[in-house]
Amino acid sequence: LRDRRGEILFIDARKLGHLVDRTRRELSDEDIDQIANAYHAWRGEMDAGTYADVPGFCKAATAPEIAGHGYVLTPGRYVGAAAVEEDETPFVERFAALQDRLEGQFDEAARLTEVIRKKMTGVVVDG
């Protein structure tokens, strides 16, 4: 095994699995394998492959690096964010499309508001 003294492996699995309810996340077998494989590769185990930091998922941080963060051990602080693919569509076109979509939603909201008002006029309230 590789000597990892002075290092801590941070794994941020927040984006893995799916929410079962508001507070619980369930990991699939593939998610668990991904986490375990990263750990075993970091340890340098045979047949585990070569470890590499993966932005947004895992990072091997050194003791001085952790000290530089005030010894805060939140994984997201170290793993960072995953690389975001660039959108080929120019901003002006994307903005125009979003604006059109928003206008359509405003129109739909106005239509639904009118339907609700008509339905409410037929409601008799005993007082």
Residues 11 and 61 in one domain: yes
Residues 92 and 33 in one domain: no
Residues 61 and 27 in one domain: yes
Tell whether 47 is covered by a domain: yes
Burial (0-12, 13-18, 19+ Cβ within 10 Å), 94 = exposed
Tell whether 1 is covered by a domain: no
Tell whether 104 is covered by a domain: yes
Residues 96 and 117 in one domain: yes
pLDDT in tens, 28-39: 999 999 999 999
Strand pairing class (25-26; 7-11): unpaired
114-126 exposure pattern, b = at least 16 Cβ within 10 A, e = fewer: eeeeeeeeeeeee
Element (H, E) at 105: helix 91-121
Count, residues in the chain: 127
pLDDT in tens, 73-115: 988 889 887 666 667 788 888 889 999 999 999 999 999 999 9
Residues 30 and 69 in one domain: yes
Can you tell me the distance from the alpha carbon of 116 to that of 122, in angstroms, rounded to the nearest whole number?
10
Domain range enclosing 116: 85-122
- Which pTM does this prediction carry? 0.61
Domain count of the fold of the chain: 2
Enter the tokens of residue 28.
């699939």
